[in-house]
Chains A and B, each alone.
Chain A
Amino acid sequence: MNTPLIKFKDVTKSFGDRTVLERVNLEIYEGEVTTIIGLSGAGKSVLLKLIIGLLKPDEGTILLRGKPVSKMKKKEINAAFAQMSYMFQGNALFDSLTVYENIALPLLETTNLKKSEIDRRVMARIEQTELTDAVKKFPSELSGGMQKRAALARALITDPKIVLFDEPTTGQDPVRKNAILSMIAQYHRKFGFTAILVSHEIPDVYFISNRVLALYERTIVFQGTPEELEDFDHPFKDEVIHSLEALQKELTGLYSKRQFKVLNHAQMRRRAFGDTYCIAVFTLEDINSIIRYLGHDAVQEAIRRMGLYIDKHFGVIGGFSTRRNTNEIVTVLPYSDITEAENILKYFVKDFQGLEINDIWTGVRRRVAMAGPVEFTILAGIAQGQPIAEIDSVIDSAKSHQKEIWTATMRRRGEKI
């Protein structure tokens, strides 16, 4: 494996008598989205502050690209930290400056760019973060979500190579939370920075994370992919992940991926050999284009409403659903064969096109921020599986059979053409 971008070797940090981090070992790799999860007060923010140099470890070594920070010259340290950016949990916006001034500040103070160039860059970020109406407003005049976006715009204004996000979704509604995570994922793809996140948004944060670090009882107890975390057997999982997942169900109405698998496994154990079940996969096509035209919020609202509707519709006949990806919802129909499932899907499509779609677009319309005609396409596919079959292969099969069930072109203000 490559040399880690950031490596902690036996790092310990205490405040007075209280040890917050004890012999922490971790590795963060370049170009990846790494998420640090843990309970409140576990020391996640301290970890981020150690990475960006706001705090110094009491013991142990922090290595940047394999070189200990303690042995770097001041110039090297400055150059390394200049590539980093930090989005604070409380936003840390300057309350005496407007949104524009806040975002422009790093460029004004640390570069020699001309005013016109600064203006161009700032306005581009403002548009990307949907803050056009708030340019001249002060932070105290903004909602919590807008403040978060202003902080995000400021963190990204210098095109950093490493961005640290300290609970970027705190205090947001479920749609905004997913919108912010989706925004981070989109910018990560677009600008190629390394993202280090502290988040409680389980499982949504898994969709955008390459690696997860679990902080438990003052140390890192797990490092690996979200998939590997599912097989991780440790008290951390019961105390942290399960409690956060339970909260997630309340917010989105859908099961987490892990809960979905457990539920499916339990259902399958009750089935006799030869029984079948079906899986339906729903996908909102070309999500990035839709985000570009309507913004993250509107798309997340559409997906949320779509998920709730699918859950409601199939829940009546014993089905259960999960959000598998940012734009994908998977539903298990435990007591059906393929013909029955096709009929159920047909009724669903009929209902969906008739009544429920209006409900979804009403939500979208409320949140539309930008103009422009944009095409929405929803795909659905079903596949039949047997209890002995791996659920992932059945999902893949359903995906390969996906067909368009609804398409429409939306224009300005989310109205259908």
Chain B
Amino acid sequence: MVPAADNQTRSENETKWQLGMLLSRPFFSIGRAVIRWINILGAATVFLFLALVKVFRSKQLSKIVQQLYYIGARSTTIIMLVSVFTGMVLGLQSYHALVKFGAQGAVGTLVALSLIRELGPVLTAIMITARAGSAITAEIGIQRISEQIDALHTMRIDPLRHIISPRVTAAIISFPILTTVFDLIGMIGGYISGVMLLGLNSGVYFHSIQANVEMKDISDGLIKAIVFAVIVATVCCYQGYFAHMRRDSHGAQAVGLATTSAVVISCVLILVSDYVVTSLLI
């Protein structure tokens, strides 16, 4: 026979233990998620490093040029379209804000600096993620689930060199160029709304840009573009390359979810890294 007092103590201990488990459960989940994210971050860093190292192997140039056309040249139209309207709306908004202080002469400066420092790199990166990044993830994901990447392994062709490296390199080259295109076309957009539609003086518009935009503004914008390029290319390639290892889905569904994840994660990381880089550069 077990004494009643012992039973009561045991029952109290069990209740305490269960309560402790209940309270610690969120910490377990957070801990597991943190460890998983650190693992992914580590793996993605190694993935990027290997891809960059393999750029310097033979027979890479033609593949890089092909990807430059795909990621860079074919994104030009959409970048120009977005940038012209971004510039126009910037010109419009800044004119109506500045005219209250009689400072409408600074419209050019405001449009140019907003574009060069911030909107150019960020919007370009987001637009390329939507257009080329998603396609990269889907393409690599399909290659993975249809065993094309395994086939490369069996042919002794390094998939990182053959598939990933040219895409990462092409992104690092195209992002700054497309950002520059975005900035220039955006300033033309600002000119259309500020000068052609609202009657600002053309000379004042261009003079304010020339006088107030410094080389550092341009270089900071391009540094951001390169950072975004590395982030977008790594995230999109990584998601596609490891689409078969997703726990939440398999096959075509895994490719679909990998594509969605690639776009969402890229966009969030673009904005987070934008703040970090800006604070470091400013």
Give residues in A with beta carbon < 8 Å to B: 49, 52-54, 78, 81-82, 84-86, 88, 90, 92-96, 105-106, 108-110, 158
Contacts and interface: CB of A to CB of B under 8 A. Distances in A.
Given A108-B59, A109-B59, A109-B162, A92 B147 contact: yes
A158 B154 CA distance: 12
Nearest to B161: A109
A82 B142 CA distance: 25
B61 interface: no
10 contacts: A78-B156, A88-B151, A92-B150, A94-B148, A95-B142, A95-B146, A106-B156, A106-B157, A109-B155, A110-B155
Interface in B133-169: 139, 142-143, 146-148, 150-151, 153-157, 162
Contact of B147 (A90, A96, A109): A90
A82 B154 contact: no
Say which size band chain B's interface belongs to: 10 to 19
B153 A54 contact: yes
B154 A85 contact: yes
A92 B150 CA distance: 8
B162 A92 contact: no
Contacts of A93: 148
Contacts of A81: 156
Nearest to B157: A109
B148 A110 contact: no
Given A109-B59, A109-B162, A92 B146 contact: yes
Given A93-B148, A94-B143, A106-B156, 4 more contacts: A78-B156, A81-B156, A85-B154, A92-B150
Contacts of A88: 147, 150-151
Given A108-B59, A109-B59, A54 B157 contact: no
Contacts of B150: 49, 54, 88, 92
Interface of B: 59, 139, 142-143, 146-148, 150-151, 153-157, 162
Given A92-B146, A108-B59, A109-B162, A82 B151 contact: no
Nearest to B158: A109
A78 B157 CA distance: 11
A52 B147 CA distance: 14
Contacts of B143: 94
A86 B154 contact: yes
Query: Among B139, B142, B150, B155, which residue has the most Cβ atoms of chain A within 10 A?
Result: B155
A266 to B, nearest CB: 46
A110 B156 contact: yes
Given A108-B59, A109-B59, A54 B154 contact: yes
A52 B155 contact: no
Nearest to A84: B154
B150 to A, nearest CB: 6
A82 B158 CA distance: 12
Contacts of B151: 86, 88, 92, 94
A416 to B, nearest CB: 44
A366 B154 CA distance: 36
A171 to B, nearest CB: 15
A53 B153 CA distance: 9
Residues of A contacting B: mostly: mixed
A52 B148 contact: no
Contacts of B156: 78, 81-82, 106, 110
Contacts of A105: 155, 157
Contacts of A90: 146-147
A155 to B, nearest CB: 9
Contacts of A94: 143, 148, 151
A258 B157 CA distance: 44
Contacts of B154: 52, 54, 84-86
A106 B59 CA distance: 13
Contacts of A78: 156
B227 to A, nearest CB: 30
A109 B154 CA distance: 13
A7 B58 CA distance: 36
A85 B154 CA distance: 6
Contacts of A54: 150, 153-154
Query: Among B147, B153, B154, B157, which residue has the most Cβ atoms of chain A within 10 A?
Result: B154
B30 to A, nearest CB: 25
A88 B153 CA distance: 12
B153 A110 contact: no
B146 to A, nearest CB: 6
Contacts of A110: 155-157
Query: Among A84, A92, A105, A108, which residue has the most Cβ atoms of chain B within 10 A?
Result: A92
A86 B156 CA distance: 11
B23 to A, nearest CB: 31
A32 B137 CA distance: 42
A96 to B, nearest CB: 8
A88 B157 CA distance: 16
Contacts of A86: 151, 154
A108 B62 CA distance: 12
Query: Among A82, A96, A105, A109, which residue has the most Cβ atoms of chain B within 10 A?
Result: A109
B71 to A, nearest CB: 15
Contacts of B155: 85, 105-106, 109-110, 158
A92 B146 CA distance: 6
Nearest to B150: A54
A93 B155 CA distance: 12
Contacts of B157: 105-106, 109-110
A49 B148 CA distance: 14
B67 to A, nearest CB: 12
Nearest to B155: A106
A12 B162 CA distance: 32
B210 to A, nearest CB: 46
A78 B143 CA distance: 23
A95 B138 CA distance: 13
Nearest to A85: B154
A110 B147 CA distance: 19
A221 to B, nearest CB: 28
A92 B154 CA distance: 11
